[in-house]
Amino acid sequence: MIIALETWHYALGTRQSTRHSLLPKPCTRASRLISLRAMPEATAPPALPAPSRFYRWVVLVFVSLAMFGNYYFYDALSPLADILQKQLGFSDQQIGLLNSFYSIAPIATVLIGGIIIDRIGTRKATLLFGVICLIGAILTAATSRFFFMAAGRFIFGMGAESLIVAVTTAIAKWFRGKELSFAFGVNLLIARFGTMLAQSSPSWAKSAYSNWQTPWIIGVGFVTLCVVGPLLYWILEVRAERTHSLGQAGDIDKIVFSDIKKFGVSYWYLVILCVLFYSAIFPFETFAVKFFQHSRKMPLADAGLLLSILTVCTMIGTPLFGYLSDRVGKRATLMIVGSGLLIPVFMIMGYIYSDRTMTVNLPWPWSAHFTAPLPLVGAMGIMGVAFALVPAVIWPSVAYIVDQKALGTALGLMTMVQNIGLAGFNFVLGSANDHWHASEANPSGYLPMLYILTGLGLVAMLFAVLLRIRETGPHAHGLETITAKGGS
């Protein structure tokens, strides 16, 4: 989900120089002051002070609430998959399609979302997209009919991905040149906390999972933050504009088709690698809780908590791996390692059974513990490392191999192609589970799904190898050599 833009947050924060859209822009206030210099000094209005640090962080928290609700509702599907199948008779193909429709929506909105933000401004756009998210969430929870539920996920996807872009530009406006890296880190931390809460919801909202609709309704409650957060942000920004000098939001990434012909081989290797890698992660998450329940007889609450290990690893590991790549370079090599880690993960899940279990104690907000087979805990830990490593490297790498003027097009196109892959593989995995009758009575029916995911990891690693060969040859862009010490 949530998908590419989420990892842009880290890329932007770690290497501010890699994203032209978030760098400081000449503001209209500056152009006015230039003309005022020609006037008598007494007529020039005094410069307004910048907002206080505390005020900026309050704004960040409120605008990040929208991301929290957004992430929660997207990830609420995985713990609910088995219940949708048992109570509503949904097939795995239909469950996969619920996330496919979410991913289809940004394919279109990536072309128009940026235009809307440009036209109506960050405040209005953030609120508009938050309202669209809420409408989609309400429709998803309103009825048991698959058509309406899928339509709700589609509408939610239309708002959610554009909301991420709007929040990104808002943060850039308030923190440009002032702790931007840390601001994006905090924003992503708050957002991913929504994912963790959704994945672990069967433990803290256990009674809600006796009915398919109640977890969706809880999700709708969290999605109201997609409206409340932007409203509070609007109030704070309007109030600050009267007494303080604010920056301008950066330009929005938009696809300019004439720029595409300028992209070289390394860029297309990155795009293919991105599609394959993410298609092995997010579609698996759609069915992960259900798979753990059926293949290892895990209780729903424990299965959800096991999946949350993946989220914890990404929250901790992504900034660390980003720092590592900035210090040592070797970005293509790191992508080989990250994509290669996926290969044993799915084979461990499919073939290694053990009576040995591991109890994991989770602190607040869970204040709970769960027990899971040791091989599964290890597999999820390895996947978490992979999912922290590759996103930390792949998105910043685009800025090294694409001309600065075409960077918005490159990132927008990469996101659009990525969502095509996510939509397709959610459908493919669901269809495979149905075809081989994957169920609690037939856990071996999940093996074809694991084969497909292993294949995606293999091909992703192949393209990472091709990228490294390209980047160690005469057409290199510095992915393997540029470091923070050496400069760019």
**Least confidently predicted of 164-178, 229-243, 273-287, 420-434:** 164-178
At residue 140, the pLDDT reads 97
Q: What's the confidence (pLDDT) of residue 262? A: 79
Q: How confident is the model at residue 440 (pLDDT cuts 50, 70, 90)?
A: very high
Residue 32: pLDDT over 90: no
Which has more pLDDT, 350 or 52?
Answer: 350
Are the CB atoms for 410 and 398 separated by under 8 Å? yes
Confidence of residue 52 (pLDDT cuts 50, 70, 90): confident
Can you give the length of the chain in residues? Answer: 488
Q: What angle do CA 45, 51, 55 make, to 5 degrees?
A: 155
**String of b and e for 222-237 (b: at least 16 CB within 10 Å)?**
bbbbbbbbbebbbebb
For 260-273, write each residue's pLDDT tens digit: 877 889 999 999 99
pLDDT greater at residue 323 or residue 290: 290
- Residue ranges and CATH numbers for the domains of the chain are 3-22+51-471 (1.20.1250.20)
CA distances from 178 to 61, 166, 172, 258 (A): 16, 19, 9, 34
pTM for this model (two decimals): 0.85
Q: Is the pLDDT of residue 338 over 60?
A: yes
Q: Which helix (H) or strand (E) holds 358?
A: strand 357-362
Which pLDDT tens digit goes with each residue over 276-318?
A: 999 999 999 999 999 999 999 999 999 999 999 999 899 888 8
Q: What pLDDT digit, counting tens, does each position of 182-199 carry?
A: 788 788 889 999 999 999
Arithmetic mean of pLDDT, 31-49 = 44
Give residue 27's pLDDT band: very low, low, confident or very high (50, 70, 90). very low
For the chain, the three-class secondary structure string (H helix, E strand, C coil) is CCHHHHHHHHHHHHCHHHCHHHCCCCCHHHHHHHHHCCCCHHHCCCCCCCCCHHHHHHHHHHHHHHHHHHHHHHHCHHHHHHHHHHHHCCCHHHHHHHHHHHHHHHHHHHHHHHHHHHHHCHHHHHHHHHHHHHHHHHHHHHCCCHHHHHHHHHHHHHHHHHHHHHHHHHHHHHHCCCCHHHHHHHHHHHHHHHHHHHHCHHHHCHHHHHCCHHHHHHHHHHHCHHHHHHHHHHHHHHHHHHHCCCCCCCCCCCCCHHHHCCCCHHHHHHHHHHHHHHHHHHHHHHHHHHHHHHHHCCCHHHHHHHHHHHHHHHHHHHHHHHHHHHHHCCHHHHHHHHHHCHHHHHHHHHHCCCCCEEEEEECCCCCEEEEEEHHHHHHHHHHHHHHHHHHHHHHHHHHHHCCHHHHHHHHHHHHHHHHHHHHHHHHHHHHHHHHCCCCCCCHHHHHHHHHHHHHHHHHHHHHHHHHHHHHCCCCCCCCCCCCCCCCC
Q: What angle separates helix 146-175 from helix 92-120, to the nearest 10 degrees?
A: 40
Residue 79 above 50 pLDDT? yes
Q: What is the pLDDT of residue 319?
A: 85
Quick one: what percent of the chain has pLDDT higher than 70?
Answer: 82
Q: Is the pLDDT of residue 36 over 50?
A: no
What number is the average pLDDT over the span 369-380? Answer: 92
pLDDT at 231 over 70: yes
Is 90 exceeded by the pLDDT of residue 141? yes
Chain-centroid distance, C-alpha 284 = 15
Confidence of residue 12 (pLDDT cuts 50, 70, 90): very low
Tell me which amino acid residue 473 is. G
- The one-letter amino acid code at 405 reads K
Question: What is the predicted pLDDT for the residue at 51?
Answer: 73
| pLDDT score at 145 | 96
Q: Each residue of 189-226: pLDDT tens digit? A: 899 999 999 999 999 999 999 999 999 999 999 999 99
Looking at residue 171, what is its pLDDT? 85
481 or 442, greater pLDDT: 442
Average pLDDT over every residue of 73-84: 96
Task: Determine the pLDDT at residue 249.
Answer: 53
Single out the residue of 109, 457, 407 nearest to residue 267, CA to CA: 407
**Residue whose token pair is 């495979």:** 432
CB-CB contact of 162 with 115 (8 Å): no
Beta bridge partners of 371: 359
Instruction: Say how far apart CA 195 and CA 319 lie, in whole Å.
Output: 18
pLDDT of residue 244: 63
Neighbours of 238 (CB within 10 A): 10
Look at residue 467 in the predicted model and tell me its pLDDT: 95
pLDDT for 356 beyond 70: yes
pLDDT of residue 485: 61
pLDDT (0 to 100) of residue 49: 63
Which is more confidently placed, 239 or 113? 239
Highest mean pLDDT out of 320-329, 335-344, 386-395: 335-344
pLDDT band, very low/low/confident/very high, at 343 (cuts 50, 70, 90) = very high
- The pLDDT mean for the chain works out to 84
What pLDDT score does 439 carry? Answer: 95
Q: 323 pLDDT exceeds 80? A: yes
